[in-house]
Structure 1
Amino acid sequence: MSDAARIGLGMMRIDTLEPDEIRELYRGARDVGVTLFDHADIYGGDHGCERRFSEALRLTPAERGEIVLQTKCGIRPGHHGFDFSAEYIVRRAEESLKALDTEYLDVLMLHRPDTLVEPDEVAAAFSQLEAAGKVRYFGVSNHTSRQIELLKTSVAQPIRVNQVQFGLGHAALVAQGVAANMEGLKQSADRDGGLLEYARINGVTLEAWSPFQRGFFGGSIFEQGGLRDLQRVLGRIAAEYDTSPTAIATAWITRHPAKMRVVLGTTKTHRIADAVAGAQLSLTRSEWYELFAAAGYEVP
């Protein structure tokens, strides 16, 4: 996987952009080697960002073949809850195909876990979409290892991707393992059933969404009033590498041997370039753990 292939661009915020701004953002990403563009049926309302993306870019078949388009479904827009029924998955995928003006999706993901899921329903939807050539690969988002195993009791296709929130401001994915067997320490609580190790064992690519957020949408790790110790260490290491704090925060994610991808939510082309530059760096173990501790996590 190339360094630029470790970076994807999320399209959640393009509903506020003008068509020429969307084109500029897309071209800025392509210019630094980014080919993965991440959507969801609920971004910008009901398929709103998918439509704005296709209408602004009007990709030729050749251009479409050069990029990876992935989208997500399962959250019911305007309603409470989730829907992993076969009818709903197929309908929403076909609506995404129309909105994106494409004949196929490279990846379709189930957005958040549906506790009412029937694995046979998901299996029927995936098989129908695959057989029709409408979806090439399948994945999930925000799923635990056991939730993936439940799907696999019926689903024949490999679950290739799991998109989860991860970064220095939201690092429970690795923090629990670091503090395993430390009774009474909040960090040691197992929230996901060993998802990090599960992904590495089973060949599931983890994609880190909101990689620079503090907690669950608690603000950026770079903002004033955020994690000051982390900002100080990020700044010092960035200066030592002659790069930006964004690059170092990205390098912290891509340094992990799980070979995660980083899905940016930015609308700034310079931040995309910084992230790609970060994916080219290899932090030392000492630097990785220093950043982890500066983010407020326990290193025994």
Structure 2
Amino acid sequence: MTTNTETGTHGGRVLYGCMGLGGSWEPGPYGPQDIDAAEEAVRAALESGITVFDHADIYRHGKAEAVFGEVLARTPGLRERITLQTKCGIRLPGADGGPALYDLRGAGIVRRVEESLERLRTDVIDVLLLHRPDPLADPDAIAAALMSLHGQGLVRAFGVSNMGAAQIGRLQARLDVPLVANQLEMSLHSRAWVEAGVLLNTPEGAGHGFPFGTLEHCLDHGIRLQAWGALAQGRFTGGQRTPAEHATAALLEDLARAKGTTPESVLLWWLTRHPAGIAPVVGTARPERIRACRDAALRAPDLTHEEWYELWTTARGVPLP
């Protein structure tokens, strides 16, 4: 299976996030048009050099995984060319007749993985992420469930999502295999991950909320950082709302023109240029926008030290401290 373990990344420079596949967010069936749309998005991702596909069991109430499984069934040999990643640990309101909650109980993890495998029409998940911390979870029970899934050959590797260094360390101490990924909201708009370091010991730093030391912990322990929301919901590539966003969009256009690429690729380069080796997750379902990210997947980030800082300070709208 293509997990790119030879590079230590469990994937390429960019991942495709499958949250937009499967039709509406309402529970219910999907149709042939939803499978066709998923196939077109997958084709656009592959043509753009993206071979890692990120899912979660809750995306479109399971329909995202299900239509992806249909695409795999339609395309012999595709499964062997890609890395499949999914997440579990969130229960949507109304699921199992209960309220919205986080659920990392051991038996629940195993059941959710079995359901994902069935929807995805595969016999193994390459990487399983725990989607959100569950305050009531027993880390020993989580570890037992993960090691059971690993021992049965149902999951090859594990990671987390939306967790800080202390939470990661506590879980890792109970596992016999290394955690390989931590997926966080990271973009030129959601900058708390980078500002946590430079705003230390400033009044502004007290309000950003990002767990300081998480990036450093992941770097030191070989945990790949994945960035959800990497395109910032189009705030800098057509959906500008503020003066700072308009100025950043203009700067991205200028840089893209100078470097022979697209604003989307420059925007993602801003993440991949960071020494943490951040892997952006591209979540758009629009094939043309997926293709606009091609150079971020296939080219090393072409940003100088000065250009990286110019993008950061322009998006901030105020000088660095």
Q: Same fold (TM over 0.5)?
A: yes
> In the alignment, which residue of structure 2 is the partner of 1:63?
78
Note if 1:204 corresponds to 2:223: yes
Q: Secondary structure at the match of 2:22?
A: helix
> In the alignment, which residue of structure 2 is the partner of 1:113?
133
Give ranges in structure 2 of 5+ residues lacking alignment: 1-6, 24-32, 94-98
CA displacement 1:213-253 (0-9 Å, x = unmatched): 26xxxx63331324122112212212221222111101111
Note if 1:21 corresponds to 2:40: no
Q: Secondary structure at the match of 2:281?
A: strand
Deviation at 1:190, TM superposition (A): 5.4
Contact 1:175 1:187 in 2 (8 A): no
How far apart in 2 are the matches of 1:121 and 1:205?
24
How far apart in 1 are the matches of 2:240 and 2:211?
31
CA displacement 1:262-295 (0-9 Å, x = unmatched): 1111112232232231341320000000000011
> In the alignment, which residue of structure 2 is the partner of 1:37?
53
How far apart in 1 are the matches of 2:196 and 2:137?
27
Contact 1:209 1:264 in 2 (8 A): yes
Deviation at 1:146, TM superposition (A): 0.8
After the TM superposition, which residues 56-205 of structure 1 pair with which residues of structure 2 at under 5 Å, given as runs? 56-58=71-73, 62-78=77-93, 79-181=99-201, 183-186=202-205, 189=208, 191-205=210-224
TM-score normalized by the length of structure 1:
0.91
Deviation at 1:62, TM superposition (A): 3.1
Deviation at 1:116, TM superposition (A): 1.3
Note if 1:292 corresponds to 2:312: yes
Figure out how many residues of one structure are paired with residues of the other and give that number. Answer: 293
Letter in 2 for 1:125: A
Q: Percent identity?
A: 38
Q: Of the candidates 12, 35, 51, which is equivalent to residue 5 of structure 1? A: 12
Contact 1:38 1:70 in 2 (8 A): yes
> In the alignment, which residue of structure 2 is the partner of 1:50?
65
Letter in 1 for 2:34: E
How far apart in 1 are the matches of 2:195 and 2:260?
28
> In the alignment, which residue of structure 1 is the partner of 2:270?
252
Deviation at 1:179, TM superposition (A): 2.4
Letter in 2 for 1:11: C
How far apart in 2 are the matches of 1:198 and 1:276?
30
Q: CA RMSD in A?
A: 2.0
Contact 1:70 1:106 in 2 (8 A): yes
TM-score normalized by the length of structure 2:
0.86
Contact 2:187 2:230 in 1 (8 A): yes
With 120-129 and 56-65 compared, the bigger mean Cα shift is at 56-65
Deviation at 1:60, TM superposition (A): 5.7
Contact 1:162 1:204 in 2 (8 A): yes
Contact 2:48 2:293 in 1 (8 A): no
